[in-house]
Amino acid sequence: MFTCARCSSTCNDGAKCSCCGLFLDFPCSGVTEAGYRKLGDRQKSWRCTACKSTGNSPRIPPPTTSSPAPITNESLMEEIKKIAAMVAPIPKLVSDMAQVKTDIAELMTSVEFAHSSVKDLQDKSLKIEQRVSETEKVIENFASYKNKLAKIQKEIDEKEQWSRLNNIEVKGILTSCLAFVPTATLALSL
């Protein structure tokens, strides 16, 4: 947030002159916000209308000639301690990653076992379904076989009854004479 150098209003966004270093809001700067954004890297060399009319060239800041602060043993030890503190969790992370790899391998084994178990169950279920369908067909055919069997039994009974009609009933033969029945039967048939 800054104050516009021309209208003294408080602004959130605006343009900065590279010559005088003043901040201007977009209406006072003479450039639209979209136009200023399109400048890209050239925003660093943008000049306000006052600097353009006077022909001022952009200010180049003087190079800083400050030398870096001398490195002491204490500051070096502090940096080493900071680095050591940052590196300390790495072995635990490595062991955690190894544990994660082991867990993933066990999980894969478990998933493969479950997959094979499900496949076995599907195969068994398919076999049971086939047997059930075969049993249903047998049950459907059983009623017709039962009717056919009853019909055949009736025919057998009728034929046995018909064959009994041709039997000869002989009365008055004693049981002691039964030994001669086959010969008597033979004599009758001739």
Neighbours of 129 (CB within 10 A): 10
Give Cβ neighbours of residue 143 (< 8 Å, ≥ 6 apart): none
What pLDDT sits at residue 173?
A: 64
Q: For residue 144, name the pLDDT band (cuts at 50, 70, 90).
A: confident
Q: For residue 189, name the pLDDT band (cuts at 50, 70, 90).
A: low
Q: How far are the Cα atoms of 6, 30, 37, 40 from residue 17, in angstroms, in the given order? A: 12, 12, 14, 14
pLDDT tens per residue, range 27-50: 888 888 888 888 888 888 888 888
What pLDDT sits at residue 95?
A: 92
pLDDT tens per residue, range 170-181: 676 666 655 555
Cα 125 to Cα 148: distance, rounded to the nearest angstrom: 34
Question: Are 22 and 49 contacting, i.e. CB atoms less than 8 angstroms apart?
Answer: no
Cα 41 to Cα 70: distance, rounded to the nearest angstrom: 35
Cα 39 to Cα 29: distance, rounded to the nearest angstrom: 14
Does residue 139 carry a pLDDT above 80? yes
What pLDDT sits at residue 177?
A: 56
pLDDT tens per residue, range 89-135: 898 999 999 999 999 999 999 999 999 999 999 999 999 999 999 99
* pTM for the structure as a whole: 0.35
